[in-house]
Structure 1
Amino acid sequence: MKNPKIHVIVRSVGAYKRREMAKIILKILGAGIIIGGIAVAPNMVQVVSLFDPKNPSERRRIWRSIKHFEQKGDIRIQKKSGKITLTSQGKEAYSKELIWDLQVKKPLRWDGKWRLVAFDIPAKRTYVRHALRQKLDDLGFALYQRSLYIFPYDCRKEISFVVDHFKIRRHVCYIEAEHIEGASKFIRHFDLA
């Protein structure tokens, strides 16, 4: 899973809190906009018009968010066309947003298999270990044992994306199992009965 598909639903400017709108703008810039079935990098006018600003104040708010990304070095704006592209720093920020929005689609029926994620991340990368645990919790995993999490649904692509983002491929193992010790506890936990 190189980049998960994202769907951004844009509301009017007034519906967003300050940082919320900036995150939406970053997602739009990262994913591009669809024109004729093809994703293209948007220009400033297109980004502003997506929010359907009702007055000059709302328009300025959107421009300020875009300019803020430019000042931070996350985007580059072409002077003539107004086309906006993400810099490598911006792509990293976009990737971080995708990680925390990522969810696993749960099928209608459980296939009877367990998915386990085991990891042994070095102590010098404590922040990454904590972030991985936090994301596994966010996805709905349960702690099976220390550094071993369990989940009932297929999530290989999502875990692969997370592992690649944190650059910890060699420290993480994804396992599928049909039988586990204490299965009844997890069947209850995940409401699979």
Structure 2
Amino acid sequence: MSSLSDGELLGKNSLLGLLAVCVGAGAVYLVEKNKRRKEADKAREDGYKDGRKDGENTVMKRLRDKMLANNKLKLGVFALGCYIANIDGEFTQEEQAAIAQAIGSPDTSWTDVGLQEEFHRIMEEIYDHKMNFNDIKEKYLNDINRGTFEDLDEVVMSVIHADGKVAIEEQNFLDNEWEIFKCQHI
């Protein structure tokens, strides 16, 4: 058997030591690499979730705004129809039918309770002369576009002509307030 000299033993130990250091360093490197990859994956996942959440929030807000705008216009058409129908002091069944045709019956089951309450509030304020055309414009019709105005003009004409006669008060409304409003939207 051969014996190893101190130099050879030291050289082999150094080689083994170096190998152990390299293996240890490699293991530390792999552990750190896996840790960084997991952190990166977690950050991407969190970013995706946050982005999706922000996207959902944006979409939900846009949808809410559209629904509110739709209800606002529906309330505006209703308020304007009631205002015009009541302008001459007679709210005829034909005028009521013209309004219902424009927006649907406000008391149907598909109309949510908050909207029904708003319809009733509008009717009371118009009958008590607490809401005028300027109030209706400011609250419901301030941001309509030209196409919506043209549709609204048709509703106004159908309510005014619904009972087969145009009262002096209705004609004055058309010639003055409605004409000014028309000039702003055409």
Q: Normalising to structure 1: TM-score of the pair?
A: 0.26
Instruction: Point out the structure with max Rg over C-alpha.
Output: 2
Higher relative contact order (CA 8 A, sep 6+): 2
Structure number having the greater strand percentage: 1
Q: Normalising to structure 2: TM-score of the pair?
A: 0.27
